[in-house]
Structure 1
Amino acid sequence: MSYMASSERYGEMKYNRVGNSGLLLPAISLGLWHNFGGVDTYENGRAMLRRAFDLGITHFDLANNYGPPPGSAEEMFGKMLKTDFLPYRDEMVISTKAGYRMWDGPYGEWGSRKYLISSLDQSLKRMGLDYVDIFYSHRPDPHTPLEETMGALDQIVRQGKALYVGISSYDAEQTAKAIEILNDLGTPLLIHQPSYSMFNRWVEDGFLDVLTNSGVGSIAFCPLEQGLLTNKYLSGIPSDSRAAKENTYLSEERITFDVIRRVKQLNELAVERGQNLAQMALAWVLREGRITSALIGASKVSQIEDNVAALNNLDFTSEELAKIEQILKK
């Protein structure tokens, strides 16, 4: 059955301006890091993308190495664009990245001009696109001059392969320098994608000030700490969770008794607010308006619906914020 987007898709979603630019992003964006690769069920991924768009999620975040295997998330997304979303392409913000290892040899990762431009060319082919809306340098490269990496981003925009550029996981000093270089080149930095959650607050130590003072937007990845800030771990570690799998950031060793105690206390506060823990965690990330969008992942449609419902209550009382701080500092 052919897909026809909901006529009410823009009724409930909140859209935020990205820094000083003219671009708006949904407060909740969907990342295709997991569950959209070649090892995953195509129809489930397709159902999630359809429902996300119907709920007003217009921004879909990818990278060259997303899968597994690397590249397969872009390939799957490209198929879905062709079958379902081609009429809506101009209503979507599609982003991809390059920085991590993608192919063998000395030109298959990091931040050289050679790698970034070659990788984006491959990404465009996989997705069947002429351009992406945002192209990111996925991580800083300690071996390549920042001027070369930012120069490649500028060249990509001038070639018409991306409308805007971003960076991810750069620290405050690296970000300030990248902003300066790109401004001089005439291609301003649109957005930074840092990790940020209740349990990971490094961006609050001056980093967000750099973005705000320079008119650069931000999109937080892992706002739910890969599922830790959800109801999933309240009763132990489920066998199908990321923590139960090998080679994941969220390992069993990180889920200590003390961490679970804090998660349970946060969950109690969320219930008092009329939310579940995931909804409160997303609202907390968005609470001050300094984060443009929270980037979620999902393995099923109901998770997307649940996360978008966080937007129904983004306000915190001073007492609630103080209680959260008390829980996190214990």
Structure 2
Amino acid sequence: MTITRRTLLAAPAILAMTPALAQASKITLVVPFPPGGSTDAMARLLQSHLQTKLNRIVIVENKSGAAGALGAAQVAKSPPDGSTFLVTFDSHAVIPSILDKPPVDVERELMPVLLVGTAPYVIAAGAGRPYKSFADVVAACKATPGAVKYASVGIGTLGHLAMTVLGNKAGVEIMHVPYRGGGPAMNDVLGGHVDLIAGSAALVAAQLGTNMLRPILQLGRERLPGLPDTPTAIEAGFPDFETLAWWGIFAPTGTPPDIVAGLAAASKEILSEPATAAQLKETQQMTLLLEDAPAFKTFFDKQVAIWGKVVKDNNIRA
């Protein structure tokens, strides 16, 4: 790797990890979802570079189930010695509210390390459907209640919760069809079995060049450069409404501050490299934030509160 001023500034924090990790033969990055998704890709991107930067064996372990709670619980119960970290996605903030008896207290048993970045959710229609705007969807729902169906990647995911809120605000019910992942959900939209999909910008953007999918609403505060003609929910008449996918790293509570700071510094250095940053922007439509633990905790606590209220108010259960 090219030595830069940023590398030199980050070096003390990175090297501070080494003594604390001397007793660990490896570092495990737990991904609480199956292989192949955006979180898995993020962890594997970090894995290859962390091995070189920290001179440690780094492995990725996929531990899926219970809306990401099983993998989170595994990390929470691991020794807080810098040998195990959680690389996770936005649904992590819904675990406290969506599960009757969560196997982990995500607010107490895990501590934030790094907020990697965010990307807006996008609502898109199959090209064969007549919907050119979200107003068209609302009109169709009012004309024929229950006629419009949308896919999400699961009950209690942010795509599901965002559509629930938008339907409530518009005074209509849009029928939810949950799937076990973005691939099956997208396939059924492209195949004409479901009208719409509410998914991350990365999931939707991958299909934009096929002319088989029409984005009709994006849920960030500003339009993505790749979707210049698609209005935001705020522009469409839903004030102050946004829904962001996000990616972050957590550690077991009690992990020493120098280890947390060291992993954060190493990860920031890796993800800030121009080629890596460009890759994340292109493949995930991600805005890199790279915010340390205090800012991440503020962000995460707000996400837990916002989506917990939506789950409670609408009696949504996994």
Same fold (TM over 0.5): no
The structure, 1 or 2, with the larger RCO (C-alpha pairs under 8 Å, 6+ apart) is 2
Q: TM-score, normalised by structure 2?
A: 0.31
TM-score, L = length of structure 1: 0.31
Q: As a proportion of its length, which structure holds more strand?
A: 2
